[in-house]
Amino acid sequence: MQTALIRERYEQVLERISVAEKQSGRKPGEVRLVVVTKTHPPDTVQAAIAAGAWELGENYAEEGVSKMAALSAMGAEVSQVRWHMIGHVQSRKAPLIARHFDLIHSLDSVKLAHRLNQAAIDLQHKLPVLLQLNVSGEESKFGLPAWEQSKRDGLCETVAQIQDCSHLIIQGLMTVPPFFEEPERVRSYFRRLREWRDFFARCFPQADWSQLSMVMSGDFEVAIQEGATLVRIGTAILGVRT
């Protein structure tokens, strides 16, 4: 029953993404769905994998790694799964995250960049990352300060330092916008992220700025219209978290 329900929801969200791509003039398949599995138990995640989800997002390092181990022990087909770290990363967790996650959405400081870079060097692999920007100015939000144009010089200095990390691969930007009941009220924050991406692409053309990671379940059509390439959706597929 659970697998069937999750499959139905997953396919409904994929269809909504497809419609939004078409309506926005985007190429089919340009937007990737990251199913947010944080706080959901392994059996729920296994159902999501069985439904076809292979890009999964976790917020906490230990919870994610524990879940990976549990899924493997359960015999879940995880060989194709790409694990996304979408939550705030503490610097001391850098080695654990670098070892187990395929894409870090939430790189938000030079200190963390250096820690992740050293961990990647120790593991002898390159680590793809997104830079998390705080585009709203909310004190409750993590991210590099990007809520006004006056932050440009400081952000450029930060990006330059991160780009110098030999084993980090910048692939784009991520943000967590304020929560509003009306999705249209979030549009300006997604647009601001896209504008920052265009600015960085001009200033640092040697880096890859192709990915824009945006949220949430209730506003992803707006995110797609504003350029999202990664949409992080949990509740609409897996139900309310426990």
Determine the pLDDT at residue 242: 59
Determine the pLDDT at residue 75: 83
Determine the pLDDT at residue 179: 83
What is the three-class DSSP state of 168?
strand
pTM of this structure: 0.95
Determine the pLDDT at residue 217: 60
Question: Which residues in the chain show pLDDT less than 70?
Answer: 1, 216-218, 242
Determine the pLDDT at residue 9: 96
Determine the pLDDT at residue 216: 65
Determine the pLDDT at residue 165: 98
Give me the residues paired with residue 83 across strands. Answer: 56
Q: What is the per-residue pLDDT across 71-105, written as a single tens digit (0 to 9) for each? A: 999 988 888 999 999 999 999 999 999 999 999 99
